[in-house]
Structure 1
Amino acid sequence: MKIHFVLATLLAVAVPTAATAGMPEEVKSINDNWARISYQMNGSSHQTTALDQLARQADQVVARYPKQAEPLLWQGIVVSEQANRANIFHKLGLATRARDILTRAYAINPRAGNGGVAMSLGVLYYKVPGSPIGFGDDARARQLLQQALALDPDGLDANYFWGDFLYDQGDTAGAKAALAKALRAPHDPDRPVWDTGRRREVQGLLKKIG
């Protein structure tokens, strides 16, 4: 079944106002814990348990900042990761919940996360099967991924997922070019676990393409 999600995004939260002063730190905590679970934790059962705990943390942050897109973005990413690791009977339900969460974030601010909301939605749309099984839509995925790329043209994630989408569509030349550009993205010293893990995935996909 065509459902596989790895949705780390670039976190680019605006300077907080007094009303949301704690939000960037709380969102970054979810971000950092996601990276630790995804790239450093061994054992699928440990990862599943940790993701369940992280999902509850994300729910709490969303409840504190219900009108902000960034907490919803990371809540959607965590639920997507849960879908990735769920059994066949729960994958689509979790994927649909992730889509709905990210759609809410997109409605609040389609530019949120430096294009991360658009990108994360786009990934769901090309990773999930289309009708009648699921909600997958390659045309919608392309539109969203291109929007994310326009917002972050030199970004590691934006180019990685664009390259992965092109490979999925059979455009190996375009995929290689996008992935090579992803590896040229500046390193992020504030998110070293994600940065290292994502570059390893880019290199793995390039090796797979040949």
Structure 2
Amino acid sequence: MKVLLSTLAATICFASTSSAFAAGADPLVTIQKKWAVCQYESKDTDNQIYCLENLIKRNEEALKQDPNRQELKVWLAINKSSLAGADGGLGALSLVKEAKALLEQVIDKAPETLNGSAFTSLGSLYYKVPGWPIGFGDDEMAEKMLRKALEINPDGIDPNYFYADFLAQDGRKKEAIQYLTKAQKAPPRADRPLADQGRQQEIAKLLGELQ
């Protein structure tokens, strides 16, 4: 079941690599929106990598300015994981280890941050990263983290999708379909329409493969 992090989708780069966050804008909102662009709006791997590398720099800058904001740590971990999936190679393992450390910090200090997103992200790493001796992948830990995410956010699109994806890879087809169906019915996030659209496409694709 263990695979080196699969490409999480492709992207486009920022229009201006030198621009900072818009004045007065919440950096978290900007990061979330840029990630959706990186994730879903291009199939060019080089642009995807460039986009994510720049987003990570901006995420790190925002976190330096507000080091106790746990939401920014979660998103830095997500961005590093996404870059690992896009870039692959030996550097991917160091990126996912950095992501894991950030998510563990959030879970230790503020586990309900962003509706338990740290559990969703960490759970996905545990089932996508190779196991020992290459990486830290662990199916039991994956399921534990993903189920904890669902306890905190039972109707969320992401925890239901990632648990379904885990179940599908584990050969538990009927359960996977159940959670995918629930993910399809998740309430839309008004501030993240592009992310919801992209995730719904992934849900439909996986459902099609399982049915």
Q: Which category describes the TM-score, using the shorter chain as reference length? A: 0.7 to 0.9
1:50 aligned onto 2:51: yes
Distance in 1 between residues matched to 2:209 and 2:101, nearest whole Å: 32
Distance in 2 between residues matched to 1:23 and 1:38, nearest whole Å: 25
Distance in 2 between residues matched to 1:162 and 1:64, nearest whole Å: 34
Identity %: 34
Bigger drift between 154-163 and 93-102 goes to 93-102
Deviation per CA, 1:109-160: give whole Å up to 9, x if none: 1111101011101110111011111101111111111110011111111110
Distance in 2 between residues matched to 1:174 and 1:94, nearest whole Å: 31
Match of 2:79 in 1: 78
Match of 2:6 among 4, 7, 12: 4
Cα shift at 1:5: 6.2
Match of 2:139 in 1: 138
Distance in 1 between residues matched to 2:24 and 2:145, nearest whole Å: 26
Distance in 2 between residues matched to 1:73 and 1:162, nearest whole Å: 18
Match of 1:128 in 2: 129
Deviation per CA, 1:56-90: give whole Å up to 9, x if none: 00101111121221000000000001100113222
- When the two chains are superposed, the root-mean-square deviation of aligned CA atoms in Å is 1.8
- Please tell me the residue identity of whatever aligns with 2:152: L
- Please tell me the residue identity of whatever aligns with 2:40: Y
Cα shift at 1:23: 10
Equivalent pairs, count: 196
Distance in 2 between residues matched to 1:79 and 1:2, nearest whole Å: 14
Distance in 2 between residues matched to 1:107 and 1:181, nearest whole Å: 29
**Cα distance change on mapping 1:197 and 1:159 into 2, 3 Å:** same
**Cα distance change on mapping 1:42 and 1:170 into 2, 3 Å:** closer
Distance in 2 between residues matched to 1:48 and 1:192, nearest whole Å: 22
- Please tell me the residue identity of whatever aligns with 1:136: G
Where do 5+ consecutive residues of structure 1 fail to align?
A: 8-21
Where do 5+ consecutive residues of structure 2 fail to align?
A: 10-22
Matched-pair contact (CA < 8 Å) for 1:67–1:108 = no
Match of 1:103 in 2: 104
Runs of 4+ in 1 over 3 A off after TM superposition: none
- With the length of structure 1 as denominator, give the TM-score of the two structures: 0.88
**Cα distance change on mapping 1:23 and 1:82 into 2, 3 Å:** farther
